[in-house]
Amino acid sequence: MSDSIELTTLDRDTAVANLTRRLSASDFRAILDAIRGRGRRRKTVEWIVAELEHRGSRGRLPSKLPGAQLPPFLVDLLGPELLSVREARYRLARSATPDERDRLHEYPAQTRGRSGRNSRARAISERRWEPGKSWPRFFVQILGFPEVFAGIPGSPSEADTIDVEPFRPLPDLEDFQLELKDQLIETLSSPAGSNRGILTLPTGAGKTRTAVEALLEWRLRSPERPGLLWIAQSEELCEQAVQAFREVWIDQGHRDNGVRESMRIHRIWGADRSIPSSPQIVVGSIQKLHAIVRGEDNDGFGENRCERLRGMSAGLGAVLVDEAHRTLAPSYGEVLEFLGIKVARGAHSSVPLIGLTATPYRSLDEETRRLALRFHGRLLKPASLGEQPVARLRERGVLSRPVHQVMEHSGASYSLDDDAHYADYFERFKDFHPDLLARLGQERVRNRAILETLESIPEEWPTLLFGCSVEHAKAMAVLLRRRDRSAATITGETRGATRRFLIEEFRAGRVSVLSNYGVLTTGFDAPAVRAVVIARPTASPVLYEQMIGRGMRGPRFGGTEECLVIDVEDNIQFGGQMAFARYVEYWEG
């Protein structure tokens, strides 16, 4: 597959025409049933789209699209992942010409069918589908689909050509970053009992770069060159840290310290990874580390990876936790204790522990107190920015100036008293139950207002949409694509390779609207975001600040001067205040 993968309008139209020619309405329904699965009580993406776009007989709202609209709907819904659905491959193989089916069946594979059409089609569909590899490429070639429908490869091979850019030194740290770097180095150098702290800066103000600079400078000053472990919540955050270490270390070469030695960075997340016995820089996801600690990740290298991790921990000189407000979760406690960092009340350890977050304050005072105790009550923040750091950073162009709008609609009202689970959930988490959010995402009047709002945003503005549910995020993207607006969806179900591909398409400007549910609140860096649409209500200031923070990078750090932030005004009775309503002073600067 070529190194440039893009689902163009021509690709879409070709796939739609091919599906229309080859499959019947019953085939499309079978594919949709396979996607939906069993036991789903929520409205499907098709249902949400059909209700908004069509009226049934006698004014009833339909739950299904007309048969003629199913081919484009499937392509818009699944994009390059269309043929990863086994039922789609079965139906296509079943409807193929005898010659096409024979050629597919004779492709080298262990799975073989009998002579009948259905048997051979089933055998073809059950062959292992590895996106971007030789079998998917052969399948799409024989059946006349554009190459992009072979899928996004998880580990693409090197391209035939590469573009080489000249070395460009990193810009100098800002004064407030230098101030924070010095505080962090002092904390790392302090004795047990005072060697922990949380470094905080608003999202978009350069926390990661500041932390990496401090960690590397501290390590270079240490004669024994201790190992550093960076723990993050998601693969995006992990890779962001890896690239930050790489860029800063390369930049060291032209500085006065004259660093010439190489530095090894280890990745520990996702698929099987080796665990270094003598670590330098290690970046790992909490999910992977927790699985190793619990003995649930021992295969792949024929070794006891738990013991390997224990051996690695002996060489660590410091541990940093990105998104430090998550460290109160049991998984973090187990991993840190395993690494020799005591987290019980009043405990201290010789290995420094640093947290990194834009939101060090929790929605519950008790949680804030516990978080502070875990980091010895030490909050590292730049005094030079005063009591209004956001305002100061906007003045300097580090952060963008938000333009705030509230979108109203005449949709239904809700109350936590409608369901005891809603009230119990809110009492426990101080936010809305996922089922209530899903109901909001199914509201036809509300969705029409959101769609009209999205269409009013200039297409050249990179726009992030935070949906109410997986179905809602997908439906809004499909609705936009059906109106010739480039849009993509990322959810927790999206393959890692596809997620990275779509994010790069968004950064490159080939995707106008990136719709998501629950995955782009952290670890997502696209400085040119011009608009953020918060289509999911929240009472959590922490979550809200994370969402709007995706568009707060200012021109000094490669972002935009202004960012449009649109909130949806929902009528939910819960005896509290929506998070966006608490930010009046924030919007007014």
Query: Which one-letter amino acid corresponds to residue 413?
Result: S
Q: Are residues 46 and 84 in the same domain?
A: yes
Query: How many other CB atoms sit within 10 Å of the CB of residue 468?
Result: 28
Which of 86, 117, 150 corresponds to the end of one domain?
A: 150
Q: What is the mean pLDDT of residues 572-589?
A: 79
pLDDT tens across 530-541, in order?
999 999 999 887
Query: How many other CB atoms sit within 10 Å of the CB of residue 75?
Result: 23
Is there a domain that residue 343 lies in? yes
pLDDT more than 90, % of the chain? 56
Is there a domain that residue 166 lies in? no
Number of domains in the chain: 3
**Rounded CA separation 462/563 (Å):** 10
Q: What is the mean pLDDT of residues 328-348?
A: 90
Q: Are residues 49 and 82 in the same domain?
A: yes
Q: Are residues 37 and 143 in the same domain?
A: yes
Is there a domain that residue 156 lies in? no
Whether pLDDT at 580 is above 80: yes
Whether pLDDT at 404 is above 70: yes
pLDDT tens across 245-290, in order?
999 998 887 776 667 788 999 999 877 678 888 899 999 999 999 9
pLDDT at position 55: 67
| Nearest alpha-carbon partner for 328 in 314, 340, 345 | 345
Is there a domain that residue 246 lies in? yes
Whether pLDDT at 162 is above 60: no
Is there a domain that residue 81 lies in? yes
Q: Are residues 371 and 455 in the same domain?
A: no
Which of 332, 358, 385 corresponds to the end of one domain?
A: 385
Give the residue with greater pLDDT, 373 vs 229: 229
pLDDT tens across 94-126, in order?
999 999 999 999 998 777 778 789 999 999 999
pLDDT at position 434: 93
**Rounded CA separation 294/292 (Å):** 5
Is there a domain that residue 242 lies in? yes
- CATH number of the domain within which 573 lies: 3.40.50.300
**Rounded CA separation 442/450 (Å):** 12
pLDDT band at 159 (very low <50, low <70, confident <90, very high): very low
- Cβ contact 282:276 at 8 Å: yes
Which of 351, 385, 419 corresponds to the end of one domain?
A: 385
Burial zone of 262 (CB within 10 Å; 0-12 exposed, 13-18 middle, 19+ buried): exposed
Please report the DSSP string for 80-97 in residue order: GGGGGSHHHHHHHHHHS-
Q: Are residues 200 and 122 in the same domain?
A: no
Q: Are residues 422 and 313 in the same domain?
A: no
Give the largest Cα separation in the chain, rounded: 81
Q: Are residues 197 and 341 in the same domain?
A: yes
**Rounded CA separation 220/56 (Å):** 70
195, two tokens: 């060697």
pLDDT at position 361: 63
pLDDT at position 396: 92
pLDDT at position 236: 75
**Rounded CA separation 473/163 (Å):** 35
Length of the chain: 589
What is the domain extent for residue 266? 175-385
- Cβ contact 391:589 at 8 Å: yes
Q: Are residues 146 and 187 in the same domain?
A: no
Ramachandran angles phi, psi of 466, nearest 5°? -100, 110
Is there a domain that residue 65 lies in? yes
Is there a domain that residue 167 lies in? no
Q: Are residues 533 and 474 in the same domain?
A: yes
**Rounded CA separation 162/40 (Å):** 46
Q: Are residues 418 and 544 in the same domain?
A: yes
Q: Are residues 529 and 467 in the same domain?
A: yes
Q: Are residues 540 and 442 in the same domain?
A: yes
pTM of the model: 0.78
